[in-house]
Amino acid sequence: MKRTKEQVEIIYQEYLKGIQQKVLDKKYNTDTNYLFKKHNLKCRTISESIIKFRNSCIKLNYDFKNINNEYEAYIVGLFLADGHVGNGQLGLFLKKSDVELIQQIKDYFSKNIKLQITKTTAGFVVSSKQVCENAIKLGILQKKTNKSFTIPEINDNLIKHLIRGYFDGDGSIFKCNNKYLKSNICSPTIDILENFQQILKNNNIESTINKENRIGKPQIILGRTYLATMDMYRLYIRKKDELKKLYYFLYKDCNICLERKKKVFEDNFYMLTKLK
């Protein structure tokens, strides 16, 4: 059946909206692949089709366009630390033991997104070009990189939630010799740590920033060993009274966090009561 350019354009516009070619083939009794090529109209690759089809099926509740509340500030912070973006997909994977938090964040985007669990990790992927573009504007990068990034624009009352999210991704709290606690937050660039340091200072929390030379050294990430391709900066909070203030800064009135890190603080809080 010969079709006019106007008829082909109608079919192609439906295709651009995300309708699969096989659906259009049946609807219009045609071969869209042949039809589009004949009229020099670009077809999606298989991976692009999968992403487009997923986008048309799943309605997202959050798109990274703004940061409006505690949950969104926390999610952005966690993605700044551990998220990745590329090829129209935004992903977040943590340790398998953190599946409860991953589930909570995934459901904030959409309960229809598939939860992906392996032997060592739990995570999910959001397939949306627009969400990826919004995330990149906030500073979320493709992979760990030495590209400079800082805190995105955010209301002052939400900053601590963003820092808690980043801390849960790239921060740590740990015991040394069963005698005292230490805490740090790391980043491949110093910029965002300087942002954090100033905010902590504004809340009367002392910290220091050091550079860790680690290029070529083995690093364990989610159970796998890699050779580091860049150095690392670390913001340290060491003193007992500063760690107490950090705990209250991060967790007072919080509704979302990585419970295992909060628990390290709380299980060893007695160490912080013996001030010098």
Identify the pLDDT of residue 276. 41
Identify the pLDDT of residue 237. 96
| 233 touches 193 (CB < 8 A) | yes
Within a domain: 57: no
Within a domain: 263: yes
Same domain flag for 161 and 34: no
Same domain flag for 12 and 85: no
pTM confidence score: 0.76
Within a domain: 24: yes
Within a domain: 231: yes
Residue 252: partners with Cβ closer than 8 Å, 6 or more residues away? none
Within a domain: 51: no
Identify the pLDDT of residue 135. 93
Within a domain: 54: no
Same domain flag for 81 and 129: yes
pLDDT in tens, the chain (276 residues): 678 888 878 887 777 766 777 777 877 888 888 788 888 887 766 555 555 545 445 789 999 999 999 999 999 999 999 998 988 889 999 999 999 999 999 999 999 999 999 989 999 999 888 899 999 999 887 655 556 788 999 999 999 999 999 999 999 999 988 788 999 999 988 999 999 999 999 999 999 999 988 777 787 766 677 777 778 999 999 999 999 999 999 999 999 999 999 999 999 988 887 544
Q: Is 169 left (phi over 0), alpha (psi -120 to 50) or beta?
A: alpha
Same domain flag for 77 and 37: no
Domain that holds residue 9: 5-43
Same domain flag for 123 and 167: yes
Within a domain: 52: no
Identify the pLDDT of residue 248. 96
Identify the pLDDT of residue 187. 93
Same domain flag for 80 and 31: no
Within a domain: 64: no
Identify the pLDDT of residue 211. 92
- CATH no. for residue 94? 3.10.28.10
Same domain flag for 131 and 9: no
Same domain flag for 99 and 139: yes
Same domain flag for 112 and 29: no
Same domain flag for 15 and 86: no
Identify the pLDDT of residue 87. 80
Same domain flag for 129 and 204: yes
| 166 touches 159 (CB < 8 A) | no
Residue 108: partners with Cβ closer than 8 Å, 6 or more residues away? 61, 62, 71, 75
Q: How many domains does the chain have?
A: 2
Same domain flag for 158 and 224: yes
